[in-house]
Amino acid sequence: MRYAFLFLLTLLPRPATTGQAGTLVISDVSVLTMVPGQALLTHQNVVIAGGVIQRIGPAASTPAPAGAQAIDGRGKFLMPGLADMHMHLSTSEEFPMFIGNGVLTVRDLNGSPETLAWRDSTARGLLTGPRLFVSGPMLADSVPWKNKVTPRNAAEAIAEVQRQKAAGYDQIKIYDGITAEVARAAIATARQLGMRSSGHIPLSLGFDSILTSGMDGFEHLDKIIFQAFGHTFDTLKIPEVAARIKRSGMWVTPTLESMVQLAKVGGGRFDSLMARPEAKASPAATRDFWQSVTVRLKGNRTYPAATPYGPWAAMQFRLAAALAQDGVPMMAGTDLPNAVLVPGYSLLRELDVMLEAGIPRRQVLEAATSAPAQFMREEAQWGTVAAGRDANLLLIDGNPLDSFDALAHPAGVVLRGQFIDRATLARMRHAVPGN
């Protein structure tokens, strides 16, 4: 299987390094820039060179440079590439599946030296894959996950965050089991060093204290439900909790599709989830995780029609809608590979589920495009379609503000300035050729 994958990579276009990418023009295309307040731009020519968007202008008055590769954009829509901002890589063999689904940025929230090496190789064009953001090993205790570190006091926490910064990690990940002293010291040190911080809510800290801790973002709505509501599911408290999160300035990555998938696994659907074509076409390491970890969550629970994914997920849906209404900044993330979440495909499902929860379509798209760039403090570099932005773009057949259907089969992708066509993307969506 591994040799088949390596053979597939030889068939795929290898993006040039940023300074070597050629000139590309996407002509007469509608551009969904995702710039706040900017309407859809129709009949535009988009000129790309050196891996960067150089010009966007009316097709009639924006000529293509001599010798540029021309892509016919008539009837199509150009938008920023999608981002999965909460996942855990199992293998670089997942990378083609992300690209094939238009997911051009991912954030790994329990990184390692190997993940950092993948990040550097993709950035240099040595490996075809998405832009990677990588957190350091999680700060945790009493959990079985790999790569965790367990500082025992503030001094050790400070030293660990400094080590992660020196190693090149993009942020720290706060997890369960650590003391309040350790959590506060780690978060404060990350802020001093210019690193982002996000994660769970340690029981030692609690919901009230995490809001004032300086941590930048919550990962998973179920952690908020547990800490702020207990198991009461008191929907009357939702407006108050949402307002407090808004005042704190913290970001939220809801990971709703993971809750939906957990409900399906617990409701007797594990085998059918594993039998989906995209699951069968996933790398062996990813499938092994599902068979060794997710399989333990199999059950035969049934849920009433009013809460098809269970009351726990239903409460998270209601909180997500309230957060969106209050303008709490959100990012789309999946928690892949948990619960038979498939690389690339699961991010598209996350967008659908966020919409199902009641988040407006525009906000859902922002959560997977412009918002992640803002969270990483790189909005001047990517996340929108504008001159000077990195050319990591998605070309689709329909307007996603009307329907997300067109996202499922991209007409093309621009990855670091190089165009990948529809047929190649279709092959990339299957990490295991022939399945």
Q: Which two tokens stand for residue 366?
A: 């922002």
| Burial class of residue 11 in the structure, from the number of CB atoms within 10 Å of its CB (0-12 exposed, 13-18 middle, 19+ buried) | exposed
Best mean pLDDT range from 5-14, 225-234, 333-342: 333-342
- The confidence band for 22, taking pLDDT boundaries of 50, 70 and 90, is confident
Q: What is the pLDDT of residues 285-344, one digit of tens each?
A: 999 999 999 999 999 999 998 899 999 999 999 999 999 999 999 999 999 999 999 999
| Predicted local confidence at residue 15, as pLDDT | 40
Question: Do residues 336 and 346 touch, judged by C-beta distance below 8 A?
Answer: yes
* 86-104: b (≥16 Cβ within 10 Å) or e: bbbbbbbbbbbbbbbbbbb
- The confidence band for 1, taking pLDDT boundaries of 50, 70 and 90, is very low
Q: What is the pLDDT of residues 164-183, one digit of tens each?
A: 999 999 999 999 999 999 99
Helices then strands, counting H and E runs in the chain, come out as: 17, 15
Average pLDDT over residues 62-91: 96
Work out the percent of the chain whose per-residue pLDDT is above 90.
Answer: 91
Q: Where do we find the tokens 């209601």?
A: 318
Query: What is the rounded CA–CA span in Å between residue 184 and residue 205?
Result: 9
| Predicted local confidence at residue 433, as pLDDT | 59
| Predicted local confidence at residue 5, as pLDDT | 41
pLDDT at 112 over 60: yes
Backbone angles phi, psi at 356, to 5 degrees: -60, -30
Q: Which two tokens stand for residue 9?
A: 């990579």
- The full set of domain ranges for the chain reads 2-135+216-428, 136-215
Say which DSSP state 126 is in.
S
| Burial class of residue 402 in the structure, from the number of CB atoms within 10 Å of its CB (0-12 exposed, 13-18 middle, 19+ buried) | exposed
Average pLDDT over residues 119-147: 93
Residue 413 three-state SS:
strand
Residue closest to 214 by CA, chosen among 179, 242, 259, 183? 183
Q: What is the pLDDT of residues 382-414, one digit of tens each?
A: 999 999 999 999 999 999 999 999 999 999 999
| Predicted local confidence at residue 8, as pLDDT | 42
* Rounded (to 5) percent helix, strand, coil in the chain: 40, 20, 40
Q: What is the pLDDT of residues 184-228, one digit of tens each?
A: 999 999 999 999 999 999 999 999 999 999 999 999 999 999 999
Residues 6+ apart with CB under 8 A from 130: 81, 95, 98, 99, 103, 104, 105, 106, 122
Query: What is the rounded CA–CA span in Å between residue 368 and residue 371?
Result: 7
User: Taken in order 419, 55, 32, 70, is the CA torsion positive or negative?
Assistant: negative
Average pLDDT over residues 27-52: 97
Question: Do residues 202 and 226 touch, judged by C-beta distance below 8 A?
Answer: no
Question: Do residues 411 and 398 touch, judged by C-beta distance below 8 A?
Answer: no
- The confidence band for 144, taking pLDDT boundaries of 50, 70 and 90, is confident
Q: Which residues pair with 63 in a beta bridge?
A: none
Q: Which two tokens stand for residue 15?
A: 């993006």
pLDDT at 10 over 60: no
Q: What is the pLDDT of residues 250-275, one digit of tens each?
A: 999 999 999 999 999 999 999 999 99
pTM of the model: 0.94
Tally of CB atoms within 10 A around 124: 12
Q: What is the pLDDT of residues 356-389, one digit of tens each?
A: 999 999 999 999 999 999 999 999 999 999 999 9
Tally of CB atoms within 10 A around 155: 12
Question: Do residues 153 and 182 touch, judged by C-beta distance below 8 A?
Answer: yes
Question: Do residues 375 and 196 touch, judged by C-beta distance below 8 A?
Answer: yes
Question: Do residues 140 and 176 touch, judged by C-beta distance below 8 A?
Answer: yes
More confident residue, 38 or 13: 38
- The confidence band for 16, taking pLDDT boundaries of 50, 70 and 90, is very low
Average pLDDT over residues 415-427: 97
- The confidence band for 11, taking pLDDT boundaries of 50, 70 and 90, is very low
User: Taken in order 384, 386, 389, 391, is the CA torsion positive or negative?
Assistant: positive
Average pLDDT over residues 32-55: 97
Average pLDDT, the chain: 93
Question: Do residues 105 and 83 touch, judged by C-beta distance below 8 A?
Answer: yes
Residues 6+ apart with CB under 8 A from 212: 248
Q: What is the pLDDT of residues 118-129, one digit of tens each?
A: 999 999 999 999
Residue closest to 8 by CA, chosen among 84, 72, 100? 100
